[in-house]
Amino acid sequence: MSFKDQLNTNKIPEHVAIIMDGNGRWAEKKGEHRVFGHTKGVESVREALTAAGEIGVKYLTLYAFSTENWNRPKEEVDALMDLLVKTITMEVDSLNENDVRLHVIGDLDSLPPGCKEALEESIEETKNNTRVNLILALSYSSRWEITRAIKNIVEDVQNGDLNSDDIDTETIDNYLNTVNFPEPELLIRTSGERRISNFLLWQLAYSELYFTETLWPDFKKENFFEAIYNYQKRERRFGKTSAQLLSDD
Binding residues for substrate: 22-26, 34, 38, 66-68, 70, 72, 189, 195-197
What single DSSP character describes residue 109?
Answer: G
Q: Does 220 bind ligand FPP (CB under 6 A)?
A: no
Sequence letter at residue 24: G
Q: Does 77 bind ligand FPP (CB under 6 A)?
A: no
Tell me, yes or no, if 8 is annotated catalytic. no
Which x/- pattern over 135-174 shows residues binding ligand FPP (rule: CB under 6 A)?
Answer: -x--------------------------------------
Query: What SS3 state is found at 102?
Result: strand
On whether the CB atoms of residues 84 and 64 are closer than 8 A, the answer is: yes
CB atoms within 10 A of CB 187: 24
Which range touches ligand FPP (CB under 6 A), out of 61-69, 164-172, 195-203, 204-212? Answer: 61-69
Q: Does 41 bind ligand FPP (CB under 6 A)?
A: yes
Q: 16, 17, 18, 20: which one contacts ligand FPP (CB under 6 A)?
A: 20
Q: Does 23 bind ligand FPP (CB under 6 A)?
A: yes
Return all residues near 20 (Cβ < 8 A) that are at least 6 apart. 41, 44, 45, 62, 63, 64, 190, 216, 219
On whether the CB atoms of residues 135 and 104 are closer than 8 A, the answer is: yes
Q: Does 45 bind ligand FPP (CB under 6 A)?
A: yes
Tell me, yes or no, if 166 is annotated catalytic. no
Instruction: Quote the radius of gyration of the chain (alpha carbons, Å).
Output: 19
Closest CB to ligand FPP among residues 155, 213: 213
Return all residues near 8 (Cβ < 8 A) that are at least 6 apart. 232
Could you give phi then psi for residue 227, rounded to 5 degrees? -65, -40
Which range touches ligand FPP (CB under 6 A), out of 19-27, 149-157, 169-177, 234-242? Answer: 19-27
Residues in touch with ligand FPP (CB under 6 A): 20-25, 38, 41-42, 45, 62, 64, 69, 83-84, 87, 136, 191
Task: Please list the active-site residues.
Answer: 21, 69
